[in-house]
């Protein structure tokens, strides 16, 4: 038994066998026609749910902190209904290039002016753009176990330290995202990891250290069909017809 299998089988118990099989299967895709007359973008339905959870409205000022490859960015832009602004940030130059290509090929030219693509370090964004946005999506870099398993189903080199290190990075990004929000602003934190350390663990740390500033969104009726965790919601492929995994937690900055 590899460290990967041992770790997650202990976490998920009898469920692990079925979850493992579903993670090894092909994920469903949906074509989303964000803007009439332009190319449809193909992505996992679970990813759409994460972007929709931000509840973007017209005239919002929105930040997509780790935006590439751009599928969720398109969903956020759609929510603006032609009014407002969206900053799509991506540190990696290669991924940022891909992000710009997605926007150019899927968004009408007159709406592209609503989007600003930036390449800042997300950890510094909150300090440089403090209290600047109404809504922030942090789709954080994560272990992405499903993608790892596509490369090698046994994941022989996986170590628990990997998920712990990523959780520290995610917490730093989450603090930055929270700082960038105006009072009363909404923050959605999402990952495609199945590791609780990178999901509820990150949210728990934020609430313990910054609970005087941020809180869980009390209204989660739009997410009630999903599998609840202690602080958020999860879409697991073994119970969502292959879709996911996606973790979603929604918070708000206190007034």
- Supply the residues annotated as catalytic: 192
Residues in the chain: 255
Q: What is the DSSP string of 210-231?
A: HTTTEEE-S--GGGTTSEE-SS
Compute the distance between CA of residue 59 and CA of residue 213 in angstroms, rounded to an integer: 24
Shortest CA distance to 215 belongs to which of 223, 225, 207?
207
Compute the distance between CA of residue 8 and CA of residue 153 in angstroms, rounded to an integer: 14
Compute the distance between CA of residue 49 and CA of residue 180 in angstroms, rounded to an integer: 23
Indicate the pairing of strand 246-253 with strand 214-216: antiparallel
* Helix ranges restricted to H, 136-199: 145-151, 160-179
Residue 209: cis peptide before it, omega within 30 degrees of 0: no
């Amino acid at each position: 038994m590899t460290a990967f299998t041992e770790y997650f089988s202990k976490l998920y118990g009898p469920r692990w066998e079925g979850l493992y099989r579903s993670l090894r299967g092909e994920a469903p895709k949906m074509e989303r026609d964000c803007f009439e007359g332009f190319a449809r973008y193909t992505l996992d339905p679970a990813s759409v749910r994460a972007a929709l959870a931000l509840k973007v409205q017209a005239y919002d000022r929105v930040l997509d902190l780790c935006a590439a490859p751009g599928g969720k960015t398109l969903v956020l832009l759609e929510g603006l209904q032609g009014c407002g602004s969206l900053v799509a940030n991506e540190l990696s130059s290669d991924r940022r290039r891909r992000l710009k290509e997605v926007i150019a090929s899927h968004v009408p030219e007159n709406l592209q002016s609503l989007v600003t693509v930036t390449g800042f370090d997300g950890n510094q964004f909150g300090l440089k753009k403090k209290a600047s946005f109404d809504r922030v999506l942090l789709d954080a870099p994560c272990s992405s176990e499903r993608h790892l398993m596509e490369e090698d189903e046994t994941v022989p080199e996986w170590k628990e330290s990997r998920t712990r290190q990523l959780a520290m990075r995610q917490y730093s990004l989450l603090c930055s995202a929270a700082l960038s929000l105006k009072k009363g602003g909404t923050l959605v934190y999402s990952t495609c990891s199945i590791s609780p350390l990178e999901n509820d663990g990150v949210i728990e740390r934020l609430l313990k250290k910054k609970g005087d500033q941020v809180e869980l969104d009390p209204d989660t009726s739009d997410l009630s069909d999903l599998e609840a965790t202690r602080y958020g919601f999860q879409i697991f492929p073994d119970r969502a017809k292959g879709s996911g995994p996606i973790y979603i937690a929604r918070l708000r900055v206190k007034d």
